Amino acid sequence: MNLDNARILVVGAGLMGAGIAQVAAQAGHNVLLFDTRAGAADAAKAKLATTLEGLAAKGKLTPEAVAATLARITPVAALQPADLVIEAIVENLDIKRALFAELEALLPDEAIIATNTSSISVTALARGMKQPERLVGMHFFNPVPLMKLVEVVSGLGTDPHVAQAIEALAARWGKTPVHTRSTPGFIVNRIARPYYAEALMLLQDHAATPERIDACLRAAGFRMGPCELMDLIGHDTNFAVTNSVFAANFFDRRFTPSLVQQELVDAGYLGRKTGRGFYRYPEGAPAVPV
């Protein structure tokens, strides 16, 4: 299985899907980008154009490279056949399973489906598929163009050759693939969940503000503090991941979801993507405390 020249369909043109489409196109792949939200794929491509042109203006990319990358990304209005599908839709087991059923009806038998799920069991996601062996986790980190790590996750039925092909592809894209078996939260989110949980408990106890917590962790050597990181991830996604890891660990209290996070989701304060989370994000200006 060689994916070097694979035609790729990215499903979900949100934070992660847009970044994955960019990285794949920059590596030379023809990429189709689909989202059920009308206009989302076009908007993601337009935003990418602005970002890449900004980099070209700073001399970090040539105008030819920008044009070539953009020419390789095609927003599409319906699912299409491809050699590799990378799924980056909402973190929900039933919705992802329904998508895989739709995909299997139109994909060739040898096509691979990779899921960017942060936390849902790859084994469980594959249940009901005609070819469960072709599903594998390909878990990128945010922001995709900058973060090197990719967790390659095998479920119980994943064909080892499929996982190896995805590892090779990620390495070719300049990423650092790490293979793991599908366990709740995989490697990084298993460790990160209690880290976020402690920050949320400090907030609930009124022990410190988000700015103070973030300043402490940055001073301790982390690139970002937990509150600004949760704002970057998006509270809707992060809360869904917390709930999923909590349930998958048989409701172990170390992974208990937080009311602080529930409130942010209820209010629609989803972080950077909505302009407000723990911080406010005025257009074109640095973050400010709420």
Of 143 and 282, the one with the shorter C-beta distance to ligand NAI is: 143
Of 14 and 145, the one with the shorter C-beta distance to ligand NAI is: 14
261 touches ligand NAI by CB under 6 A: no
Instruction: Convert residues 140-179 into a mask of x (bound to ligand NAI by CB under 6 A) and - (unbound).
Output: xxx-------------------------------------
Q: What is d(CA 79, CA 163) in angstroms, rounded to the nearest whole number?
A: 23
- Cβ burial of 109 (10 Å; 0-12, 13-18, 19+) is exposed
182 touches ligand NAI by CB under 6 A: no
- Cβ burial of 174 (10 Å; 0-12, 13-18, 19+) is exposed
Which of 151, 228, 235, 244 is flagged as catalytic?
151
123 touches ligand NAI by CB under 6 A: no
Rg of the chain (C-alpha set):
19
Of 45 and 139, the one with the shorter C-beta distance to ligand NAI is: 139
Q: According to CB under 6 A, which one of 77, 90, 267, 290 is a site residue for ligand NAI?
A: 90
Q: What is d(CA 28, CA 15) in angstroms, rounded to the nearest whole number?
A: 21
Q: What is d(CA 268, CA 19) in angstroms, rounded to the nearest whole number?
A: 23
Q: Is 154 an active-site residue?
A: no
Phi, psi of 9, rounded to the nearest 5 degrees: -105, 120
Instruction: Convert residues 196-225 into a mask of x (bound to ligand NAI by CB under 6 A) and - (unbound).
Output: ------------------------------
Of 100 and 131, the one with the shorter C-beta distance to ligand NAI is: 100
Q: Is 258 an active-site residue?
A: no
Amino acid at 124: A
37 touches ligand NAI by CB under 6 A: yes
Specify which residues 76 forms β-bridges with.
34
Q: According to CB under 6 A, which one of 31, 40, 73, 245 is a site residue for ligand NAI?
A: 40
Q: What is d(CA 88, CA 179) in angstroms, rounded to the nearest whole number?
A: 19
Of 141 and 196, the one with the shorter C-beta distance to ligand NAI is: 141
Pairing type for strands 149-154 and 84-87 reads unpaired
132 touches ligand NAI by CB under 6 A: no
Please report how many Cα atoms fall inside a 13 Å half-sphere around the Cα of residue 69, on the Cβ side.
Answer: 26
Of 78 and 219, the one with the shorter C-beta distance to ligand NAI is: 78
Q: According to CB under 6 A, which one of 8, 48, 82, 88 is a site residue for ligand NAI?
A: 88
Which of 87, 91, 116, 139 is flagged as catalytic?
139
Q: What is d(CA 45, CA 281) in angstroms, rounded to the nearest whole number?
A: 22
Q: What is d(CA 148, CA 176) in angstroms, rounded to the nearest whole number?
A: 5
Q: What is d(CA 139, CA 117) in angstroms, rounded to the nearest whole number?
A: 6
Q: What is d(CA 28, CA 80) in angstroms, rounded to the nearest whole number?
A: 19
Q: Is 133 an active-site residue?
A: no
Residue number with the smallest Cβ distance to ligand NAI: 14
The window from 36-44, 130-138, 162-170, 252-260 that contacts ligand NAI (CB under 6 A) reads 36-44
Which of 118, 119, 182, 244 is flagged as catalytic?
118
Q: What is d(CA 287, CA 275) in angstroms, rounded to the nearest whole number?
A: 9
Give contact residues for ligand NAI (rule: CB under 6 A). 11-17, 34-37, 40, 88-91, 95, 99, 116-118, 139-142, 233-234, 237, 241
Residues with catalytic roles: 118, 139, 151, 189
